[in-house]
Amino acid sequence: TTSMPPGFKQIILGLGCFWGAERLFWKLPGIFLTAVGYSGGLTANPTYEETCSGQTGHTEVVLLVYDPKKLTLDKILSIFWQAHDPTQGFRQGNDRGTQYRSAIFVMDDADFDMVQESANSYQKALAKNGFGQITTEIRKNQQFYFAEDHHQQYLYKVPSGYCGLQGTGVCVD
């Protein structure tokens, strides 16, 4: 975890390649900090190469620290669900491997319950449009490990860099 202003919250999201995921959120009003890293696995302080090997169990994630008075969890989740395909298991588009799985890691029970409700609601919308089951991993209190410096805000530094992030086209009701 990172220190944050009083009253602020954090959430860790995995939706494929972390470069595009971070860019999706960094300009939103109410975002205090974004960082890319690894979470949901077994190994402490994994490197990019270790994570990509599939041996650590981590997924590429973006950490959001936000002011819930300016940005609601519902808004964050709406962007999350619509920005990627949460039914693809260990891949997003051409990016394949456990490090590209969909994940939401929260810090408390209230957020966990809201995420579960949100997933159930979006599952109904996906099913109506012919998509399968959501495979998003939803857990509490997962350790976040910062990715190497050159990955942080990568698409700001390299605006034409690769981003394979694509949604399903199904809107959140």
Residues acting as catalytic residues: 17
The half-sphere exposure of 128 on its side-chain side, counting CA atoms within 13 A, is: 11
Scanning 69-108, the segments in alpha helix (DSSP H) are 73-83
The strand pairing partners of 38, in sequence order, are: 60, 145
Question: What own/partner pairs with CB < 8 Å and gap ≥ 24 does 124-133 have?
Answer: 124/173, 125/170, 125/171, 125/172, 125/173, 126/86, 126/87, 126/168, 126/170, 129/168, 129/169, 129/170, 131/85, 131/87, 131/168, 131/170, 132/87, 133/87
Q: Whole-angstrom Cα distance, residue 10 to residue 71?
A: 11
Angle at 90 between CA 86 and CA 96, to 5 degrees: 115
